[in-house]
Amino acid sequence: MSTTTTADVEKEPSMILQKQMIGDHFHELARAKELGKKVVYTFVPGNLNELIWAFDMLPVHPEINALQSGMRKKSGAYIQEAEKAGHSEDVCTYVKCDLGMMKKGNIGPTGERLPAPDLLLLSYTGCFTFMKWFELLQREYGCPVAMLHVPYQGDGEITPAMKQYVVDQLRDSVIPLMEQVSGKKLDLERLKGFLGSSSRAEDDLCAIWDSAKHKPSPIDSYFGGVYYIGPIFSAFRGLPQAEEYYKSLRAEVDARVAAKRGPTTPDGELKDQKFRLVVEGPPNWTSFRDFWKMFYGEGAVVVASTYTKVGGLYDRGFRHDPANPLETMAEYCLGCYTNRNLPTRVDLIEKYIEEFAADGFVVNSIKSCNSFSAGQLLMLRELEKRTGRPGAFIESDLVDPRYFSGANIKNRLDSYFQMIDAKRASSPT
């Protein structure tokens, strides 16, 4: 969700702070063994970051490594490495990128080697492939796996049975295994401390999302948003660094609101906001900058997105609650965006379109990610019907450079923007 950045690109101060945080984290990871720290690999959606920190272990997120590899243009070679080893061209490229990176020495985004895991914490939330992914990693690393099956909101709600199921697993198998691997008993008070810190950062993040209701919007909730979710969806939620980051980000955004300024893009401030959009689906990482430019280059700003909710829908009211640690973690896992059923996802996007006064919405359909993609064409149709606002449908992949056709995507987006323009021009108001 965050990126290593190149020179000559405009950056917000919070981006520089984030880069520092990430650098420190990967540096600590590289020294984990000498520091005597245990390492946990885990997934972003429904992650148990506070719990990992409570055991004083260090988290690694393979999805983030994969997207970083994508941004650094290394994913193509990694994917081919995995395909050479027998993986199908049909399957998720995050998995293949991760496996390929491991085979090539497991060098992380900062150039330092990532430590092997002492535990694979399989928070199986909202994505079936996660399960296969860690089965594959377990074969490679031979370390224990803590399986946490987070049931799906098939009927669009969290039932008491679902919550109980997750709490039971946490209590009966996940926590005992983490105690065993870390050699420490769970310090519940410490855990509560992290959870409290999480909720404070979550408050600030919500204010940031909300700011996009302003015209002009001071943020881009998708392309900028993926930076904003960096700390809270990954290693830093629950830590003071994250609190600090979100405080400073919020101040930045507030200042832009006061000055009626738009978000910062790699080419400077987005000034003339001609189109306000909601985006469904993850971004493409291999051509992230080009992809973004196809939007801001036409004066399009994203006012809300679903991808930035894969690690929790704080904006719909959820906060980590230190008073009920296991229950709150369970609820967090259950509430992630991709763990919600299709009707609920349609409802959510509809609300975003209305609440953020969007001109339309864009679906970026990702080949790798069936969890997001299967059903998106129906969502498109439903949303157009319900909101009367036009949707655009484009296709790309997370980190497979072979699956990003810039000209094709630009063609569709341009047509889409021009269509909105032509409609405006022809409507009497």
Partner 1 sequence: MDCYVGIDLGSTTTKAVFLDSSERILGRGITNSRSNYTVACQVAREEAEISARFNLLKQRLASVPRLGERADELMAWLSCKFALAQHLKQLKVLQQQCQDVLARTGVKGGEDRAPYEQALVQIFEALVSTSEALFAPNQRSQSDFFRDLATSLYLKEAEKVARASGLSFDRTVGIFDKAILQVENTSFATFFAEYLAFACRETVKVEQFKRFEQDISQAVREVTELKFNVLSEVGTGYGRLTLPFPKEQIRSEILCHGLGAHYMFPKTRTVLDIGGQDTKSIQVDESGIVTSFQMNDRCAAGCGRYLGYIADEMNMGVHQLGPLAAQSKNPVRINSTCTVFAGAELRERLSLGEKREDILAGLHRAIILRAMSILARSGGVFSEFTFTGGVARNEAAVAALKELLKENYGDVPMNISPDSIFTGATGAALFARRDSKKAEA
Partner 2 sequence: MDLEAIVQRSEALFRDQDLSAVKEWKSRTGGKVIGFMPVYVPRELIHAAGALPVGVMGAGEHAEIIRGDAYFQSYICRIPRSTIELGVSGKLDVLDGFLFPAICDVIRNLSGMWKILFPQKYARYVDLPQDFGAAGRAFYRRELEGMAEDFTRLTGKAVTAEALRRSIKVYNENRRAIARLYDLRSEAPHLVPTWELYLILRAANVLEVTEHTKLVEAYAQAARQSKRPERDYVRVVVSGAFCEQPPLGLIRALESSGCYIVDDDWVLGARYLVEDVIEDGDPFDALIDAYATKTVSTASRYESTALKGKFLVEQVRSRRAEGVVFAAPSFCDPALLERPMLQAVLSEQGIPHTGFKYAENTGQIQSIKEETGTFADSIKLWGTA
Least gap, CB of 410 to partner 2 (angstroms): 19
| Three-class DSSP labels, 98-162 | HHHHHHCCCECCCCCECCCCCEEEEEECCCCHHHHHHHHHHHHHCCCEEEEECCCECCCCCCHHH
Its sign, for the CA torsion 69, 74, 76, 81, is negative
- Lookup: tokens for 151: 């049931």
Number of amino acids touching partner 2 (CB under 8 A): 54
Residues 301, 276: contact at Cβ < 8 Å?
A: yes
Of 13-21, 242-250, 252-260, 410-418, the segment contacting partner 1 by CB under 8 A is 410-418
Rg (CA), the chain: 21
Q: Does 392 help bind partner 2 (rule: CB under 8 A)? A: no
Task: State the Cα–Cα distance between residues 10 and 428, nearest whole angstrom.
Answer: 39
Least gap, CB of 426 to partner 1 (angstroms): 5
Q: Which listed residue (86, 105, 317, 428) binds partner 2 by CB under 8 A?
A: 86
Which C-beta is closer to partner 1: that of 46 or that of 391? 391
Q: Which listed residue (7, 36, 161, 183) binds partner 2 by CB under 8 A?
A: 161
Pick from partner 2, partner 1, none: which does 384 bind, CB < 5 to 8 A by kind? partner 1
Q: Does 374 help bind partner 1 (rule: CB under 8 A)? A: no
Q: Does 405 help bind partner 1 (rule: CB under 8 A)? A: yes
Task: State the Cα–Cα distance between residues 36 and 321, nearest whole angstrom.
Answer: 31
Q: Does 154 help bind partner 2 (rule: CB under 8 A)? A: yes
Q: Which of residues 382-401 bind partner 1 (CB under 8 A)?
A: 384, 390, 393, 395
CA atoms within 13 A on the CB side of 102: 21
Task: State the Cα–Cα distance between residues 65 and 314, nearest whole angstrom.
Answer: 24
Which C-beta is closer to partner 1: that of 288 or that of 404? 404
Site track for partner 1 across 332-371, x = CB under 8 A: ---------------------------------x-x----
Task: State the Cα–Cα distance between residues 415 and 394, nearest whole angstrom.
Answer: 12
- Lookup: tokens for 424: 């405006």
Q: Does 213 help bind partner 1 (rule: CB under 8 A)? A: no
Residues found near partner 1 in the complex (CB under 8 A): 365, 367, 377, 381, 384, 390, 393, 395, 403, 405, 408, 410-412, 414-415, 418-419, 422-423, 426
